[in-house]
Amino acid sequence: MSEFDLEQVDHLLSTTRAVRKRLDLERDVPRELLMDCIRIATQAPAGGNYQKWRWVMVDDPDLKMVIADAYRRSYAPYIERQRSAVADKAPDNSTLGKIMSSSDYLAEILEQVPVLAIPCSLGSPADAGPDPQGWWGSVLPAVWSYMLAARARGLGTAWTTLHLGYADEVGEALGIPSTITQLACVPTAYYTGDTFRPGKRRPAEEITYWNQWKNTTV
């Protein structure tokens, strides 16, 4: 028997969505609640247990504006490319249409989100020599743990990376030395509404191979 309530745990793991339109822009998030999420995130695995993660939590309006401005400058050409790709292929317009309208919204209101969390790592993947995967793998799981811990506390988050095209500019405003790598920007706010549903994903049976590439026979 598991020591966990699997229904609850699986619900958390399968309903931690990219929250954009349901971010509550009016309600402040206590710093101590965010510290709890980071405390949980420090339990993520890290190669050699080096714990190179650092978190820059931005709730200052002027600094949030710097990040939002950088984000929007990357977002405009990005979403233009996405829109033409969708117009060309139109594989599943309704799903992609929803993601785009939700993404547009986040880009518009980013500076109004109560907190923009910028997870960082000491150093850069170039330091890892032949093992850049080890470098990324030692910092990114903590970001997901933060998002799960947030969701469990009634906070919505979204993993975003678009401001990173202007990481130097944002880094300068936040006093982040150039030797540090910013990993993402995670808007964090209470979410509105009750709960979330699992997202659309390819079936596990289709993407799992046993012993040989493409062998899906269990």
Ligand X SMILES: Cc1cc2nc3c(=O)[nH]c(=O)nc-3n(C[C@H](O)[C@H](O)[C@H](O)COP(=O)(O)O)c2cc1C
- A 10 A CB-CB count for 135 gives 21
We find the least distance from the C-beta atom of residue 103 to ligand X, in angstroms, to be 4
From 23, 142, 158, 170, residue interacting with ligand X (rule: CB under 6 A): 158
Q: How, if at all, do strands 155-157 and 186-190 pair?
A: antiparallel
Q: Does 159 bind ligand X (CB under 6 A)?
A: yes
Binding of ligand X at residue 103 (CB under 6 A)? yes
> Which listed range, 42-50, 56-64, 152-160, 209-217, lies at the site for ligand X (CB under 6 A)?
152-160
- Distance (Å, rounded) from C-alpha 109 to C-alpha 116? 12
CA distance 119 to 167: 12
- Rounded CA-CA distance 141/135 in Å is 11
Query: CB under 6 A: which stretch of 32-40, 59-67, 155-163, 204-212 binds ligand X?
Result: 155-163
Using alpha carbons, select from 152, 213, 136, 164 the residue that is nearest to residue 188. 152
Is residue 18 part of the contact set for ligand X (CB under 6 A)? yes
* CA–CA dist 64, 116 (Å, integer): 7
Q: How far is the CB of 65 from ligand X (least distance, A)?
A: 17
Residue number, nearest CB to ligand X: 199
Would you say 201 or 214 has its CB closer to ligand X? 201
In this chain, which of 13, 199, 215, 216 binds ligand X, going by CB under 6 A? Answer: 199
Closest CA to 136 of 39, 18, 46: 46
Q: Under the rule (CB under 6 A), what is the footprint of ligand X?
A: 17-18, 99, 103, 106, 158-162, 199
